[in-house]
Amino acid sequence: MGIFEPFRAIGYITASGVPFSVQRLSTETFVTVSVGKAFQVYNCAKLNLVLAGPQLPKKIRAIASYKDYTFAAYGSDIAVFKRTDQVIVGSEEGSLQLWNISTKKKLYDFNGWNSPVRCCVSSPALDVVAVGCSDGSVHVHNVRYDEELMSFNHQIRGAVTALSFRTDGQPLLASGGSSGVISIWNLEKRRLHSVIREAHDGSIVSLHFFANEPILMSSAADNSVKMWIFDSNDGGARLLRFRSGHSAPPRCIRFYGNGKCILSAGQDRAFRLFSVIQDQQSRELSQRHVAKRAKKLRVKEEEIKLKPVVTFDCAEIRARDWCNVVTCHMDTPQAYVWRLQNFVIGEHVLTPSSSTVTPIKACVISACGNFTILGTEGGWIEKFNLQSGFSRGSYIDTSLAMQCAHDGEVVGLACDARNGFLISAGYQGDIKAWDFKTCKLKSRLDVGKSVTKIAFHRPNGLLATVAGDMVLILFDTVSMKMVRRFEGHTDRITDLCFSEDGKWLISSSMDGTLRIWDISLARQIDAMHVDVSITSISMSPNMDVLATTHVDQNGVYLWVNQSLFSVSTNTENYASGKHVRNVCLPAVSSTERSEEEQVQNLGESYKSSIKPFVITDHQIPNLVTLSLLPKSQWQSLTNLDIIKVRNKPIEPPKKPEKAPFFLPSVPSLSGEILFEPPASSKDTDISTTKNTNHKMSELSSHFSQQLQFCGETKNYSAFTDYLKGLSPSSLDMELRMLQILDDEESEDLEQRPELQSISSLLDYFIHELSFRNNFEFVQAVLKLFLKIHGETIRRHSMLQSKVKKLLEVQSLVWQKIDKIFQGARCMVTFLSNSQF
């Protein structure tokens, strides 16, 4: 096991070339789409992801769904799902054949249209199908009589790749082609009804009209699924909802929002924000009315968008005030700002004032979030204010003849945490330190080889550079000296980044390896090899997830940091030396098990791992043991008077209603109506009551019995459990029943049972405090006890000696606890450098 293990892939919506499958379960409609070797199920109500399927051995070639089952065909296995045992097969020669799959016999040969068949779909009418061909023609054919009913030709050249009939009573047929345009045909009038231009950026893969609804779903090779609704007056369609990802591989990624989101710039000219937690929150950042401008100029949206991003930088400190993202684009002499709070491009375009117009190659945002610094291909470095977009100075090396910062391309920029200096790296191998405010050159360092990429860690001031000989060199920006040198990559290094704590340096290369270097140990601690080379990497601020992008892969892959979730923190347990382990790319789903199985297995493993918690008398020396009772139970003992006042009724009690005149009744103390018993049984009841009262006076209460028995054995655990089971009001009543209300001098006070119980209670408190058991509960009971019997203890000398001993034990225990509290308080004050 290595440090980073595969977790999941995000950004995949649908795979190109595999039609989706739509089914209705109860009142919900679901669509199942293929994403390479796995599949995903979306709820069509809001296109929310409800299920991610397991990873299969090979790519899915076809997919179908039936009730709760999903059927996927991969490899050499083919699955066919139709209503009957007859199926129509189209061929590359343009002919159709009708086969009976039960008897495995061919039933009929259709002539065809001398063009390869690309798609075929059945209509709501019986024995009528629509066939799409490579020459852009659509044929509606009656297979029972082998008769063509009508045909349509697309104006835009390209094959017809998807067809679907509308089923809500409107005679419409939707067709999609390789150009990404969806055409709607009116079957009744036999002409074109409407066109959805620029529906997708790639070839249409699948179309589907929902049953008895004016909604059309489409998927294409551009990694998107869209839903269109026909509710306009002219019968046209508008976009209802969609889910999309990159249609071309991303080339630069960065974590944002405390590791919850990932900013991704792709070769499809899209700048996207992916959510690591909820896929439905992922979106593309707006470039302001691209569709409207493209429609007005009659060009594709891709031509209106900005060129692909080559690098960008972001800062969260001033995200609510102004733009906080800066992007540099391919072969573009301007930089653009973005406001991530509104997910839209900013109003300022940053153009350097250099006399030579060259593309911008590097950018960085200052630690304060107010400035951004741009570096061009011609060696020019200029500072801009993000709020106003105005220039705030240029960094010029007066020793150069061209009066610029570097003699050649600026490959990287870095700014320290206090805006004290700026670090710039040139392609020629020169690294320069500039005064951030005055824009003057402070020092310079010659690497001796060409530099292609840099990474800077602001907290520790380390600068990592990538040299042309595939060697990583670390410099201390304060002393401008080399501190580390790492070798191991065998091909061009594509990206590198620091961990948040600055202990690790992670690098990727075109040789397919990802290497983790420990800076303090000055050696490689782990390396893994993937089948597809890594193009960009980013480590989350919490150091729990690593994100990577790969060659010819449209998604973003997440890797989990095992060192944060394991008991051992020693990196020697993961890898050693220069050993490289082979790892597969993460799947779309994080695990191949179902969610119920995960929960069940997790519960079983948790139950097997936990052990019963046993309370001992002394778990930790000089500490107290709590009773583990709810806080409200022991707090109510000290606030019973307040609770009684609060619960006192506002209105006086109402007089009970009189009984009917024919029912004789007698008055009662409780206020309830008591009916007069028969005269014959009156004497019997009186004698029974007297006998019961006599027996109760002879036997003491259960409270006193438990206290007396535990006092004799010197084991009060049973008595403590009995007290814990009483409610606060019941415990208060038991203590008040021990009060001595009449002090008759003729009677021996020392022999009173109430006084003996009070003395036993004092022994109980001394014992529990000495062993420091149930500390907070005993303190609450002791406070209530002294409140009720304090005056009795003061008047009787036999109780005062035990009270003095109780005071000594209480003071000794509390002094030890208070000493620990004061030590912890002093330590917190020292570490936080604050005063309480």
> Does position 512 have pLDDT exceeding 70, yes or no?
yes
Q: What is the pLDDT of residue 649?
A: 73
Answer whether 108's CB lies under 8 Å from 146's CB. Answer: yes
DSSP string of 636-690?
HHHTHHHHHHHTS-SSPPPPPPPPPTTS-EE--TTS--EEPPPGGGHHHHHHHHH
Q: What is the pLDDT of residue 731?
A: 83
Quickly count: other Cβ atoms within 10 Å of residue 604's Cβ.
10
pLDDT higher at 452 or 661? 452
> Does position 174 have pLDDT exceeding 80, yes or no?
yes
> Does position 13 have pLDDT exceeding 60, yes or no?
yes
Q: What is the pLDDT of residue 451?
A: 94
Q: What is the pLDDT of residue 676?
A: 54
- Which two structure tokens, joined as six digits, stand for 381? 């470095």
Q: What is the pLDDT of residue 567?
A: 55
pLDDT higher at 743 or 156? 156
> Does position 581 have pLDDT exceeding 70, yes or no?
yes
Q: What is the pLDDT of residue 675?
A: 52
> Does position 831 have pLDDT exceeding 60, yes or no?
yes
Lowest mean pLDDT among 184-188, 582-586, 667-671: 667-671
Quickly count: other Cβ atoms within 10 Å of residue 511's Cβ.
18
pTM for the structure as a whole: 0.69
pLDDT higher at 581 or 291? 581
For the segment 677-694, the average pLDDT, to the nearest whole number, is 48
Angle at 69 between CA 68 and CA 73, to 5 degrees: 155
| DSSP 3-state of 561 | strand
> Does position 403 have pLDDT exceeding 80, yes or no?
yes
CA distance 445 to 480: 7
Q: What is the pLDDT of residue 157?
A: 66
Q: What is the pLDDT of residue 833?
A: 66
pLDDT higher at 518 or 83? 518
Query: Mean pLDDT in the chain?
Result: 83
Which CATH superfamily groups domain 249-446?
Answer: YVTN repeat-like/Quinoprotein amine dehydrogenase (2.130.10.10)
Residue 809's Cβ-count burial label (10 Å; 0-12, 13-18, 19+) is: middle
Q: What is the pLDDT of residue 743?
A: 54
Q: What is the pLDDT of residue 375?
A: 96
Beta strands in 667-761 (DSSP E): 674-675
Q: What is the pLDDT of residue 720?
A: 85
Answer whether 18's CB lies under 8 Å from 221's CB. Answer: no
Q: Which single residue is written with the structure tokens 């019973």?
A: 640
- Domain residue ranges of the chain, discontinuous segments joined by +: 4-244, 249-446, 624-644+700-836
**Which of 116-125, 452-461, 601-610, 714-723 tops mean pLDDT?**
452-461
Measuring CA to CA, which residue among 431, 461, 426, 428 is closest to residue 443? 431
pLDDT higher at 715 or 239? 239
Q: What is the pLDDT of residue 52?
A: 85
How many CA within 13 A on the CB side of residue 17?
4
Lowest mean pLDDT among 151-165, 372-386, 467-481, 821-835: 821-835
% of the chain with per-residue pLDDT over 70: 85
Q: What is the pLDDT of residue 373?
A: 96
Q: What is the pLDDT of residue 692?
A: 43
- We find that the CATH architecture of domain 4-244 is 7 Propeller (2.130)
Residue type, 466: V
Measuring CA to CA, which residue among 307, 312, 332 is closest to residue 323? 312
Q: What is the pLDDT of residue 599?
A: 39
pLDDT higher at 611 or 299? 299
pLDDT band at 113 (very low <50, low <70, confident <90, very high): confident
Q: What is the pLDDT of residue 702?
A: 78
Q: What is the pLDDT of residue 698?
A: 40
> Does position 742 have pLDDT exceeding 90, yes or no?
no
> Does position 101 have pLDDT exceeding 90, yes or no?
no
> Does position 30 have pLDDT exceeding 60, yes or no?
yes
For the segment 514-525, the average pLDDT, to the nearest whole number, is 92
Lowest mean pLDDT among 33-47, 327-341, 583-597, 703-717: 583-597
Residue 459's Cβ-count burial label (10 Å; 0-12, 13-18, 19+) is: exposed
- Cβ neighbours for 82, distance < 8 A, ≥ 6 positions apart: none
Segment (H or E) for 757 = helix 753-771
Q: What is the pLDDT of residue 658?
A: 65
pLDDT band at 106 (very low <50, low <70, confident <90, very high): confident
Q: What is the pLDDT of residue 712?
A: 83
> Does position 577 have pLDDT exceeding 80, yes or no?
no
> Does position 681 have pLDDT exceeding 80, yes or no?
no
Question: Do 249-446 and 4-244 fall under one CATH topology?
Answer: yes
CA distance 414 to 367: 10
φ, ψ of residue 522 to 5 degrees: the values are: 60, 45
pLDDT higher at 155 or 255? 255
How many CA within 13 A on the CB side of residue 133?
21
pLDDT band at 531 (very low <50, low <70, confident <90, very high): very high
- Encode pLDDT of 601-638 as tens digits: 434 443 444 344 444 444 566 678 888 788 777 777 77
